[in-house]
Amino acid sequence: MAFGTNPRTAVEVTRGGGFGFVGAGYRNPESLNEDFAFIRASFPNLESNKPLPVGYGFIGWLLDKDEEAGKQMIDIVIENGVQAIWLAFGNDLHHWVEHVRSSPANARRCSGHRPLIFVQVTSVEEALVAANEWKVDVVVAQGTEAGGHGGARTPSTFMLVSEVLAALPQDGTAPPVLAAGGMANGTQVAAYLTLGAAGAVLGTRFLLTPESPYTDAQKTALLAARSAGSGATVRTLAFDYARDTAYWPAHINGRGLRNKIVDDVEAGVDHAAVQARWKTATAAGDSSYMVVFAGQGLALMDGIKPIKDVMAELHAELVKQLQKLPRAVAAKL
């Protein structure tokens, strides 16, 4: 999530036992360079020849929009030694996969190896291309429940992950598949691990943390929306019309809190007027007309907590659920 992460959130997730990503979608080369002093200082015991235990995510169509700046940003994170690069939402992601592999910046990495390549997919067809043709290191299967941008026609995370796992080779040559979308607790993560996923991606869960760059108004709106359950959010291009960012590949839109932006767009209000109202509301901290991206897992979240506490809870819930499985299986035999 481009506006829901920063170096601090990524570092804290990694410190908590996960692997943190920084969403660099709308960043520029100059601002990216400023991240790495903080990240390095956050891991004082990291050996100089080891990669930084964080990743950076990029949006394909934004890289395409300014290819030179896109290459500079990817080269910056490669040279600074990040462990992984995540690519999503592009009409030619293969071009950027190959740039990560062939960039001269790889030769300047202190760790001596290129970063792992994660590619996000919203269909079985995309997963097969990423795995079999592009030979990426990790496939991230994102279902419709996910917050932020995703496939307008994508099935549920459970169905998509099931279909992707069934379609990929079963001989050990396929890349790991991560489940993304709608998760808020360790019990859900356990379900995807037992399904066959190698891991899980959580985004919205970390918006309700002190470290999150979401504003207080956005966090308050998220807390208030939990009572509406999974129906609190909607998948639409309305938020992009408001921000003048409706340039995503076909069949991609965004999931966020349903509010007056959606009402106005659905009522046919001119997009210029919607943009003006959004700018005014954002400046005033009026969440009724702000963009608040969030996934359906919001309904299962229970307040604002530090990331270290969230990670500890996720781990405890995951272990507890997995420990139940042998007893449950034995009881059925």
Residues with Cβ within 8 Å of 159's Cβ and at least 6 positions away in sequence, in order, are 143
For residues 140 and 121, is the Cβ–Cβ distance under 8 A?
Answer: yes
| Structural domain contains residue 294 | no
Q: Is the pLDDT of residue 75 over 70?
A: yes
Share of the chain above pLDDT 90, in %: 90
Residues ≥6 apart with Cβ < 8 Å to 332: none
Query: Would 267 be classed as within a structural domain?
Result: no
pLDDT class for 325, splitting at 50, 70, 90? confident
Quote the pLDDT of residue 230. Answer: 78
Q: Is 194 left (phi over 0), alpha (psi -120 to 50) or beta?
A: alpha
Q: CA 32 to CA 50: how far, in whole Å?
A: 20
Structure tokens, 267: 């009522």
Whether residue 98 lies inside any domain: the answer is yes
Q: How many CB atoms lie within 10 A of CB 141?
A: 28
Instruction: Answer whether residue 312 is part of any domain.
Output: no
pTM: 0.95
Sign of the torsion angle spanned by Cα atoms 295, 301, 304, 306: negative
How many C-alpha atoms does 126 have within 13 Å on its Cβ side? Answer: 26
Which pLDDT score, from 0 to 100, does residue 107 have?
A: 87
- Mean pLDDT value across residues 22-39: 95
Query: Residue 88 domain-assigned?
Result: yes
Give me the pLDDT at residue 323, please.
94
Is the predicted pLDDT of residue 333 greater than 70, yes or no? no
pLDDT band at residue 329 using 50, 70 and 90 as cut-offs:
low
Q: Are 208 and 202 in contact (CB under 8 A)?
A: no
* Mean pLDDT of all residues belonging to the chain: 95
User: Does some domain include residue 116?
Assistant: yes
- Model confidence at 140, pLDDT cuts 50, 70, 90, reads very high
- Residues 6+ away with beta carbon under 8 Å from 190: 317, 318, 321, 322
Residue 293 scores a pLDDT above 80: yes
Confidence grade of residue 179 (pLDDT, cut at 50, 70, 90): very high
Say whether 281 sits in a helix, a strand or coil: helix
pLDDT value at residue 227? 86
Is residue 70 a part of any domain in this protein?
Answer: yes
Between the alpha carbon of residue 276 and those of residues 3, 237, 269, 280, the distances in Å are 20, 17, 12, 6
DSSP-derived letter for residue 174 is: S
Distance CA 117, CA 93 (A): 11
Residue 218, H or E segment: helix 216-225
Q: Are 202 and 318 in contact (CB under 8 A)?
A: no
Q: Say if strands 148-151 and 20-23 run parallel, antiparallel, or are unpaired.
A: unpaired
**What's the rounded Cα separation, in Å, for the pair 333 and 323?**
17
Residue 229 pLDDT: 82
Q: Would the pLDDT of 330 be above 90? A: no
Region 98-116 average pLDDT: 87
pLDDT at 281: 97
Residue 27, sorted as left (phi over 0), alpha (psi -120 to 50) or beta, turns out to be: beta
State whether the Cα torsion 59-60-62-63 is positive or negative: positive
Q: What is the pLDDT of residue 326?
A: 81
pLDDT at 70 over 70: yes
Structural domain includes residue 265 = no
Domain that holds residue 52: 7-213
We report the CATH number of the domain holding residue 126 as: 3.20.20.70
Looking at the 3D structure of the chain, how many domains does it have? 1
